[in-house]
Amino acid sequence: MNKIVVVGSSNIDMMAKVSHLPSCGETVCNAVFTHAVGGKGMNQAIAAARLGGDVTFVTALGNDHYADMLSNMLHKEGIVTDYVIYDNENPTGTALIYVSNSGDNCIAVASGANSKLQPELVHTFEKAIRQADIVLMQAEIPYSTIRSTALLAHDLGKKVILNLAPVCQVDSELLAAVDVLVVNEIEGAAVAGIPYSGDNLDEIIERLQLTGIRNIVVTAGSAGAYLLTPFTRIHVPSFKVNAVDTIAAGDTFCGALAVVFEGDYITEENMRYANAASAIAVTRPGATTSIPDAGEVAQFIASQTTVTSISNEKIEQNVKKTVAS
Query: Which residues are the active-site residues?
Result: 251
How far is residue 238's CA from residue 217's CA, in Å, rounded to a whole number? 14
Q: Alpha-carbon dihedral of residues 184, 188, 191, 193, nearest 10 degrees?
A: -140
Alpha carbon of residue 65 to chain centroid: 26
Q: What is the DSSP string of 113-157?
A: GGGG--GGGGGGGHHHHHT-SEEEE-SSS-HHHHHHHHHHHHHTT
Q: Work out the number of other CB atoms within 10 angstroms of the CB of residue 130.
A: 13
Q: Work out the number of other CB atoms within 10 angstroms of the CB of residue 170.
A: 20
Strand order in the sheet with 93-100: 32-38, 11-18, 93-100, 105-110
CB 136 within 8 A of CB 158: no
CB 221 within 8 A of CB 240: no
- What per-residue string of b and e applies to 131-166 under the rule 16 or more CB within 10 Å gives b? ebbbbbbbbbbbeebbbbbbbbbbeeebbbbbbbbe
Amino acid at 52: G
CB 7 within 8 A of CB 118: no
Amino acid at 248: A
How far is residue 47's CA from residue 37's CA, in Å, rounded to a whole number? 13
Relative to beta strand 225-228, strand 215-219 is antiparallel
- Residue 187 belongs to what H/E stretch? helix 185-192
